Chains A and B, each alone.
Chain A
Amino acid sequence: MLKQMEGSRAVAEAIALCRPEVICAYPISPQTHIVEALGEMVKDATLGDCEYINVESEFAAMSVAIGASAAGARSYTATASQGLLYMVEAVYNASGLGLPIVMTVANRAIGAPINIWNDHSDSLSQRDSGWLQLFAETNQEALDLHIQAFKLAEELSLPIMVCMDGFILTHAYERVDMPTQQQVDQYLPPYEPRQVLDPAEPVSIGAMVGPEAFMEVRYLAHAKQMQALERIPQLAEEFQAVFGRDSGGLIRSYRTEDAETIIIAMGSVLGTIKDTVDAMREQGHKIGVLGITSFRPFPYAAVAAALKDCQRFVVLEKSLAVGGGGIVATDVRLACTGMGLQGHTVIAGLGGRAITVKSLTALFEKACAGELELNTFLDLDWKAVNKQLEREKQVRRSGPIAENLLRDAGVVAARNY
């Protein structure tokens, strides 16, 4: 049914249709509306046979999900930013134990400085945690990916993060097509655990494993993610058969036929990029877009195939490997090894910095002309950066960096050093 609703509400309703049995909730913006909506549904019994637990931290949220999943229940939680970092030890534990927990990450920057706005630093910091990470471009896709995620997670016995841009998606009111319970039931079978805590068949889960088997356990997690590379496109097809909608998959190409330049990105910024590319296409630029839905497992082969006919690619990402460069770009470059393509990394939108059509147009035109640098920080205020660098050269006690920058920008009034 078509509905106009907030992204968080849409995701919450989709989660409810998946019949979760244990939901753990701890507030952190911008995921809070999702668990609030679910809490209401459990309390008024719209969502039956489900325990909703208000925990005391994100670490507890993931830990409750671990216990519930190990006891055979379909388990869900949501988090973002500092919350994801606070639960990290349990995040790795959930994947190490092979528990198919589904978690929404409403992507948000990581402090310090504290910042509530969107970028991808949080979930990308968990790149190697053993969780699958699926990125939604729209609220419809966010909703659909959650339904696919439960099915995939439970098939593989691996946990999945469904990543959706904080505020940009979670708080945006958009039209979504909400599936029926019947459709979801048809697509998603009840959870059949591979391992379960049961007195009728006692097992020890999570015991110590030494060098004699640890590498094999790790490799098997990797092998399962490789299996996911095959299953994700199939699940998208099966999804289309039931829901009549093309959603999910590993990657998504847009106007890449005959494209010389391909822009690569994840999440909601793909919408702005597509608008920009449409306008540039009208002006005759041979430019296209490649959206990456599955960040983990990373679809190296699919990305290489999608880029095989272009001359250059630009990875525009909302994340920064400080001291390195791009995070997504590193994977894309690896995918293109030996293809002789010119690759560019653009770091953009950190901490919610707006990514505008104007800036993108200038950027992409430069790329198409072959004039783009290897690494670009989109719309970086060089004047402010250089002023701070100069200040640090002049004064030993130069003060807190963020405050200096805000004062220079005229946002706060304080004494000058």
Chain B
Amino acid sequence: MSFQPIKFYQTGTFTVGNRLLAPEERSVQASDKRYNSINSGHRACQGCGEALGARYAIDAAMEATQGQLICANATGCLEVFSTPYPETSWQIPWVHSLFGNTAAVATGIAAALKVKQKKGERNPAIRVVAQGGDGGTTDIGFGCLSGMFERNDDVLYICYDNGGYMNTGVQRSSATPPAARTATTMAVGSEPGNAFGQGKFVPAIAMAHEIPYVATATVADLRDLEAKVSRAMELRGARYIHILVPCPLGWGTASSETIKIARLAKETGLFPVFSAEYGEQKSALAIRQKLPVEDYLRPQKRYAHLFGKQPDVQVIAKLQALADRNIRKYNLLEGL
């Protein structure tokens, strides 16, 4: 799949669509030849951002490898909703081992393939992706992930970030944003919700490993997401894509608003969408219409404590400062 830096949006709207493109430039999902790697009928919640992200990401990786893909999956929502035997939704070879070892399992698969391909026992086109949620990636799986990066193993790792442990009932992870309510960062006390100054932005840590490719994406810009997977598959070595996937259950948003919420995360600058190669930023998806963080926060019940009778202007200002810093740091207004 080739990718043209074309403006998909119709002027003055958020409408995005393949109809603005020549057929050969349209998305993988727009094609009736799409792989349907994860089939319909799985048990994800209505409006699940992760299911959508995984569908686009894995099908794009399948397109890039002409169907020669093996996937390792961490424990979590994606694993649980897609596979209870005998109802697996996966149409590709897929393995789930544990919560915290997915990057290492993928390393093992890649190592096995390298030997088998060298011996001529396996198709040389077969590649490996690993995937997990933010808990399985930024917390419990982080040691194995960093090891995989550091060794530059030939694995594309995809993190679907919904900002918490949603499968176990919406607990805080190190990807939970400041001020957000979870079951373990309750909206009570003098500083309700998750603390400021905690959490970690793994794409930046991945960049510090100077691996060939790091990118972020959201389910609001699916063509951008596909293009990033496609670019990642052109490269060898350790690659990391971090996709923001809203969770209606955990965020307290309408299931019909998943894409809108993801777009607001990007348009406010709270979630920077960019790519980097060998530790240096290469691109930034520009904010089209800069919006105050309040527009992103207000529709989400996890931030409801900020919008009582008296909006918590101090906390909102702190969140705005985080967004502004992202905008400066990643050139989100001009784009790259």
Chain A residues at the B interface, C-beta cutoff of 8 Å: 21-22, 24, 49-51, 53-57, 59-60, 62-73, 75, 89-90, 93, 97, 197-210, 213
Which residues of B have CB within 8 Å of A70?
Answer: 95, 105, 108-109
B200 within 8 A of A: no
The answer, among A55, A67, A200, A201, for a CB contact under 8 Å with B147, is A55
Given A89-B98, A206-B97: A67 and B104 interface contact (C-beta under 8 Å):
yes
Scan B131-156; emit 1 where CB is below 8 A from any A CB, else 0: 00000000000011011001101000
B111 touches A22 (CB 8 A): yes
Give bound CA distance, A63 to B147, whole Å.
12
B107 touches A204 (CB 8 A): no
A213 touches B85 (CB 8 A): yes
Chain B residues at the A interface, C-beta cutoff of 8 Å: 67-70, 72, 79-80, 83-85, 88, 90-98, 100-101, 104-116, 118-119, 121-123, 126, 143-144, 146-147, 150-151, 153
Given A50-B115, A204-B88, A213-B85: A90 and B147 interface contact (C-beta under 8 Å):
no
A66 touches B96 (CB 8 A): no
A206 touches B111 (CB 8 A): no
The answer, among B67, B79, B153, for a CB contact under 8 Å with A199, is B67
The answer, among B70, B84, B90, B115, for a CB contact under 8 Å with A51, is B115
Give bound CA distance, A25 to B283, whole Å.
38
Known A-B contacts: A67-B108, A73-B116. Give 17 more (CB < 8 A). A51-B114, A53-B107, A55-B147, A59-B104, A60-B101, A60-B104, A60-B107, A60-B147, A64-B107, A64-B111, A66-B108, A67-B97, A68-B109, A72-B122, A197-B109, A204-B85, A205-B93
Q: How far is the CB of B94 from chain A (nearest CB, A)?
A: 5
Nearest 7 pairs between A and B by C-beta?
A67-B108, A56-B147, A73-B112, A63-B104, A63-B101, A71-B112, A207-B83
The B interface, classified by DSSP as helix, strand, loop or mixed, is mixed
Which residues of B have CB within 8 Å of A204?
Answer: 83, 85, 88, 90, 94-96
The answer, among A51, A60, A197, A202, for a CB contact under 8 Å with B111, is A51
Give bound CA distance, A69 to B104, whole Å.
12
Q: How far is the CB of A218 from chain B (nearest CB, A)?
A: 15
A72 touches B91 (CB 8 A): no
29 interchain pairs, CB-CB under 8 A: A21-B115, A21-B116, A53-B107, A53-B153, A55-B147, A56-B143, A56-B146, A60-B107, A60-B147, A64-B105, A64-B108, A65-B108, A67-B106, A67-B111, A68-B112, A70-B109, A72-B122, A73-B112, A89-B98, A93-B97, A97-B97, A197-B95, A198-B70, A198-B122, A201-B93, A202-B91, A204-B88, A204-B90, A206-B96
A67 touches B95 (CB 8 A): yes
A63 touches B108 (CB 8 A): yes
Chain B residue at minimum C-beta to C-beta distance from A67 = B108
Count of CB-CB pairs between chains A and B under 8 Å: 165
Give bound CA distance, A205 to B98, whole Å.
12
Given A90-B101, A199-B92, A207-B85: A75 and B108 interface contact (C-beta under 8 Å):
yes
Which residues of A have CB within 8 Å of B146?
Answer: 56
Which residues of A have CB within 8 Å of B116?
Answer: 21, 71-73
The answer, among B70, B91, B100, B118, for a CB contact under 8 Å with A197, is B70
Of A69, A73, A90, chain B has the most CB atoms within 10 Å of the CB of A73
A199 touches B126 (CB 8 A): yes
Give bound CA distance, A89 to B104, whole Å.
14
Give bound CA distance, A75 to B111, whole Å.
10
A208 touches B108 (CB 8 A): no
Of A59, A93, A206, A213, chain B has the most CB atoms within 10 Å of the CB of A206
Q: How far is the CB of B91 from chain A (nearest CB, A)?
A: 6
The answer, among A54, A67, A71, A208, for a CB contact under 8 Å with B80, is A208
Chain A residue at minimum C-beta to C-beta distance from B104 = A63
B83 touches A71 (CB 8 A): no
Which residues of B have CB within 8 Å of A66?
Answer: 97, 101, 105, 108
Q: How far is the CB of A78 from chain B (nearest CB, A)?
A: 16
Q: How far is the CB of A352 from chain B (nearest CB, A)?
A: 30
Q: How far is the CB of A148 from chain B (nearest CB, A)?
A: 23
